[in-house]
Amino acid sequence: MIDDLLSTYRTELFDHVIPFWERHSIDHQYGGFFTCLDRDGSVYSTDKYMWLQGRAVWMFARLHNEVAQDRGWLELAQSGLDFIRRYGRTAEGRVYFSLTQDGRPIHIQRKIYSEVFFLLALTEMARATGSGKYLDEARTLFWQVYDWWQHPEKLGRPVLPGGFRGSKLADPMVFLGMIEELERLEPDPRYAQLAQQMKTIALRHIQSPRRLVLENIGTDGEFIDTPTGRLINPGHAIELAWFLIRLGQRTGDADLTQRALEVIEWSFERGWDDEFGGLYYFLDCEGHPSTHLEWSMKLWWPICEALYGLLLAWHVSGDERYLGMQRQVHDYAFSRFSDRAFGEWFGYLDRRGEPTHTLKGGEWKGFFHVPRALLYSIQLLEKHL
């Protein structure tokens, strides 16, 4: 069974996913990546989204670092990094959200995530090239991002008396992600200390008695009885869980691993659509209407998180139940999302599992979730051979 799964994931990643992006997403003129790609890879917009540029650089560099050094992946990553470093930043060091093909800025968000994905690009490229310059840039950016996160008014977002000021689950998660990469490159006790702070924040989102993970909690960790406070995203909770399992494995924190395993089990149970399959995108934890139009759609990335997260849960626990859940996710993903005719996965299905969009990439979907889930799954399965 392990052999079959490994073979399937290798074929999918190396024959159907990576080649799609190598063939269609490279801008040979200005550098960087097109991500607005239709089913067959044709480009329907040449605009460049910095979340996805940074993520693609990270992914290609990771493939270079951990899979093969002779496939040209480093050059692709370098081209993306050069594009971001040349055009992607403001005078204050912030990173735009989107640029035209030739690098003119279109939009800047009042959020830290463009910076986060640029930082991950820098760290993986520092690892690939040994460049101290990239590591220096990453370190400087890390402490800037930390400062912006603590003082969101510096991002230009007005701080209003009734505005949300609690914790968003994505924030401790991206800090844990950045720290994992930085710690690998340079030891610094401040990273470990901050990881513990972020772990504490992340754990507050986990509501054990209610068996769920809240996306947004109050400043003292309290439940907020509004649509924002009641929001849950089962795929995001599973992603959190596998972040925490990896942290638990690195730090020898068995209790953390145990809590994360529970999160995976609850989130799969609550998020799986028993009628049509797939994971709901958003739910209101008390059953009120979702304020998100797409709440019942099935998106590629929660399925990717579940595909790897459940495999990891089985790997660290030995509990075959996780493998059963993983089989459900796997069958759904490979029958609904995977597109062997043209490569890559569809991004958006309706509740019934029919594609609503032919696109393989867009403003939010690029060379990241599918190859990351497949690569991490392959690396895990290889340990079982």
State yes or no: residue 160 binds a copy of itself (CB under 8 A).
yes
Of 131 and 356, which CB lies nearer to a copy of itself in the complex structure? 356
Q: How far is the CB of 45 from a copy of itself (least distance, A)?
A: 5
Which residues, other chains included, contact 334 with Cβ-Cβ below 8 Å and sequence gap of 6+?
Answer: 8, 12
Total residues in contact with a copy of itself, by rule CB under 8 A: 42
* Helix residue ranges, H only, 130-169: 132-150
For position 99 contacting a copy of itself by CB under 8 A, the verdict is yes
Please, what is the Cα angle at 111 between 92 and 286, to 5 degrees? 170
Smallest distance, a copy of itself to C-beta of residue 232, A: 15
Stretch touching a copy of itself by CB under 8 A, among 106-114, 199-207, 255-263, 319-327: 106-114
Query: Max CA-CA distance within the chain?
Result: 57
Distance CA 301, CA 313 (A): 18
Q: In the set 163, 187, 189, 252, which binds a copy of itself (CB under 8 A)? A: 163
Contact 300, 347 (CB under 8 A): yes
Asked if 107 touches a copy of itself (CB under 8 A), the answer is yes
Least distance (Å) from a copy of itself to the CB of residue 294? 4
Nearer to a copy of itself, 74 or 359 (CB): 359
Q: Residue 156 or residue 324: which is nearer to a copy of itself going by CB?
A: 156
Which region, judged by CB under 8 A, interacts with a copy of itself, from 56-64, 252-260, 333-341, 345-353?
345-353
Q: Which is nearer to a copy of itself, 130 or 163 (CB)?
A: 163
Cα separation of 307 and 113, whole Å?
Answer: 24
Q: Closest Cα partner for 167 from 223, 207, 209?
A: 223
Query: Is residue 290 near a copy of itself by the rule CB under 8 A?
Result: yes
State which residue, 175 or 281, has the beta carbon closest to a copy of itself.
281
CB atoms within 10 A of CB 209: 5
| Binding flag, residue 357, a copy of itself (CB under 8 A) | yes
Using CB under 8 A as the binding rule, whether residue 100 contacts a copy of itself is answered as yes
∠ CA 360-234-349, rounded to 5°:
30
- Which residues fall within 8 angstroms of residue 184, CB to CB, at 6 or more apart? 123, 127
Structure tokens at 106: 């279109």
> Is 353 near a copy of itself (CB under 8 A)?
no
Residue 47 interacts with a copy of itself (CB under 8 A)?
yes
Distance of CA 367 to the CA centre of its chain: 11
- Is position 34 an interface residue for a copy of itself (rule: CB under 8 A)? no
Closest to a copy of itself by CB, 229 vs 248, is 229
String of contacts with a copy of itself for each residue 217-236, x by CB under 8 A:
---------xx---------
- List alpha helices for the chain, DSSP H: 2-11, 18-24, 50-66, 73-87, 113-129, 132-150, 170-185, 189-205, 227-230, 234-251, 254-271, 300-317, 320-332, 369-382
> Checking phi first, is residue 173 left (phi over 0); if not, alpha (psi -120 to 50) or beta?
alpha
Find the binder of a copy of itself among 190, 288, 340, 384 (CB under 8 A).
288
Question: 186-215 mask for a copy of itself (x: CB under 8 A)?
Answer: ------------------------------
Closest distance between a copy of itself and the C-beta of residue 185, in Å?
33
Q: At what angle do helices 50-66 and 113-129 cross, to 10 degrees?
A: 20
8 A C-beta contact, residue 383 and residue 311: no
User: Where along the sequence are the contacts to a copy of itself (CB under 8 A)?
Assistant: 36, 38, 44-45, 47, 96, 98-100, 104-108, 156, 158, 160-164, 226-227, 284, 288-291, 293-297, 348, 350-351, 356-359, 362-363
